Structure 1
């Protein structure tokens, strides 16, 4: 299992961060330009990563401190996205984990890109949710 992690501290209440992340409609704002064809509901998102893959993500669990999202409908490899939200005084710490079950070749090709994606998403979240 390949685990990619990114964290960020946001100057906003945990409830605001949770409300943003709990709705997959908002996740399009976190994605880089090579994510195209985005369609979403609160619980599911469908999109293409240009020249790479088509993905369908679905929320599998929500609670005020954590949101779990899984790739469904024949992803290129099993994939879980986990957003953990922790209030720290007037700020909120957000931990984002991408867990992917990839073979060694896929890991060599994709892990760097997944780390860039995770870091991009957490920084973009900070920009969008900060007061």
Structure 2
């Protein structure tokens, strides 16, 4: 299952966005209002949204100034969340989030709507940084 956020423009350079997203503590600023738990531990962070199970994301890969890949810490629900960063001009950049999960059809049907809303919230909050 793949979910793509709309591409958003930030008033920051690709270097600034990359540095911001590389610091996992900053993801707390991007989380939805209904976040009940957020804890950073090294190269991973744990978050919990109201009415949802807690999820731990691990920093899997960084490509300087162009992408950051986070993945699920648990192999029970394998997925990745990729932030693609591209230069719009010297002072602005575009960011798009891509969610890619390997779920069975029943699970995909259950999580698609809340995940899409979550990805869109993260994306719109990135535009505000």
If the length of structure 2 is used for normalisation, what is the TM-score?
A: 0.89
C-alpha change, 1:42 and 1:62, in structure 2 (3 Å) is: farther
Spell out the pairing of 1:41-120 with structure 2 (5 A cutoff). 41=41, 43-64=43-64, 65-75=66-76, 77-90=77-90, 91-120=92-121
Q: Which 5+ residue runs of structure 1 have no aligned equivalent?
A: none
Return the alpha-carbon distance in structure 2 between the equivalents of residues 3 and 24 of structure 1: 23
Give the aligned partner of residue 4 of structure 2: 5
Q: Secondary structure at the match of 2:33?
A: coil
> Which residue in 1 is equivalent to 2:15?
15
Distance 1:42 1:95, change over 3 A: farther
Post-superposition offset of 1:33: 2.6
How many residues were matched structurally? Answer: 126
**Deviation readout 1:35-73 (Å, 9 max, x if unpaired):** 222110452101223332121111011122110111113
Question: Which consecutive aligned stretches of 4+ in structure 1 deviate over 6 angstroms post-superposition?
Answer: none
**Which sits farther off after the overlay, 115-124 or 40-49?**
40-49
Within 1, Cα distance between the matches of 2:42 and 2:81? 16
**Alignment match, 2:25:** 25
Shift of 1:74: 4.7
Q: What secondary structure, in the 3-state scheme, does the structure 2 residue paired with 1:62 have?
A: strand
